[in-house]
Structure 1
Amino acid sequence: MGTWDIGPFGNDTAADFGGDLDEAAAEEREAMVRSVLKRAAGPADFLDTSDGERAVAAAALVVAQHPDGEPVCSNYGPSEPLPELPADLRLLAVDALDQVVSNRSELAELWAEAANWSKWRQDITRLRDVLDTPIPPQEEALFEI
């Protein structure tokens, strides 16, 4: 694995994806992010490492535009600004991240063998939690019958 950090762009594949986004025309960038997320969230029997790494990077870009998200801090992520990504990508990113950490993911399998697996898993969970915040409990209505 050409990995030097647990961050979303801390590997060769994600860094290349960031470069591909920079080289693409502005109007193509959303479709590129969507395509990566769809591929990872899809019903394939096995998610390979490269698709998983790109999905984590794409999800981090979606998170960066969320009101509760943090910017992507990496020298290896895209340096060109992305267009405003549509809100429907949030759920697609959640589905993709769920697949990245599933038992059908080669990336999760590789990280499970690494010493800093729990930190990687926490970072994935943090991304997912921003995109899929729990619904607050509904307060009981105070109606008199």
Structure 2
Amino acid sequence: MGTWDVGPFDNDTAADFCGDLDEAAAGEREGLVRGALVRVVDTVDVLEAPRADEAVAAAALVASQCPGGEPADPVYGPEEPLPDLTGLRDLALRALDRVMTGPSELMDLWAGEDGGPWRANVRRLQDVLAPRDPGGDRAP
């Protein structure tokens, strides 16, 4: 696995996923994002790292369209426009929760001290995706 940093798009798998989004017809892009998230949520055995990397990138794309979300990586993120993905917010949050719980190969790979920044990035995505109560606080 080629990983060069701790961001959601900083690995070969995520970059390839974004390339697939760019190559897909506009009407298929939401389905590709949804599929990456569903595959992770539906995994009951060990969650393989490449599948988790795709889901983290997909969740980051959803979060980028939510209040407080950061734009997708301009170099490795998709270049083509994406449809409104905010309807996938709950699914993206559930996928990130699954990535961060065992058995998860990606979580194991980032388990050491040097994985702290990666885990912080995923928690930041979770915070953006989490439902808010009317006062703006994260709902329980």
**TM-score normalised to the size of structure 1?**
0.87
Kindly provide the CA deviation profile for residues 38-83 of structure 1, in whole angstroms up to 9, marking residues without a partner as x.
0011142111001100000000000011122111124111111101
Q: Which residue of 2 aligns with 1:23?
A: 23
Q: Which residue of 1 aligns with 2:69?
A: 69
Find the aligned partners of 1:111 and 1:37 in 2 and give their Cα distance: 20
**Paired residues of 2:65 and 2:86 also in contact (CA < 8 A):** no
Q: How does 1:46-125 map to 2 (within 5 A)?
A: 46-87=46-87, 89-113=88-112, 115-125=113-123
Find the aligned partners of 2:132 and 2:120 in 1 and give their Cα distance: 17
Q: Which residue of 2 aligns with 1:142?
A: none
Give aligned pairs, total.
Answer: 135
**Paired residues of 1:3 and 1:10 also in contact (CA < 8 A):** yes
Q: Which residue of 1 aligns with 2:128?
A: 130
Runs of 5+ in structure 1 lacking a partner?
Answer: 138-145
Kindly provide the CA deviation profile for residues 88-109 of structure 1, in whole angstroms up to 9, marking residues without a partner as x.
x101001100111112110000
Q: Amino acid of the residue matched to residue 46 of structure 2?
A: F
Q: Amino acid of the residue matched to residue 94 of structure 1?
A: L
Find the aligned partners of 1:106 and 1:130 in 2 and give their Cα distance: 24
Q: Amino acid of the residue matched to residue 114 of structure 2?
A: N
- Please state whether the residue corresponding to 2:28 is helix, strand or coil: helix
Find the aligned partners of 1:43 and 1:7 in 2 and give their Cα distance: 23
Give the stretch that moved more between structures: 17-26 or 96-105. 96-105
**TM-score normalised to the size of structure 2?**
0.90
Kindly provide the CA deviation profile for residues 102-140 of structure 1, in whole angstroms up to 9, marking residues without a partner as x.
121100001114x42111000000000001045367xxx
Evaluate the alpha carbon distance shift between residue 8 and residue 68 of structure 1 in structure 2; reply closer, same or farther with a 3 A threshold.
Answer: same
**Paired residues of 1:48 and 1:107 also in contact (CA < 8 A):** yes
**Paired residues of 1:49 and 1:106 also in contact (CA < 8 A):** yes
Q: Amino acid of the residue matched to residue 26 of structure 1?
A: A
Q: Amino acid of the residue matched to residue 123 of structure 1?
A: N
Q: Which residue of 2 aligns with 1:5?
A: 5
Q: Amino acid of the residue matched to residue 102 of structure 2?
A: N
Find the aligned partners of 1:13 and 1:83 in 2 and give their Cα distance: 22
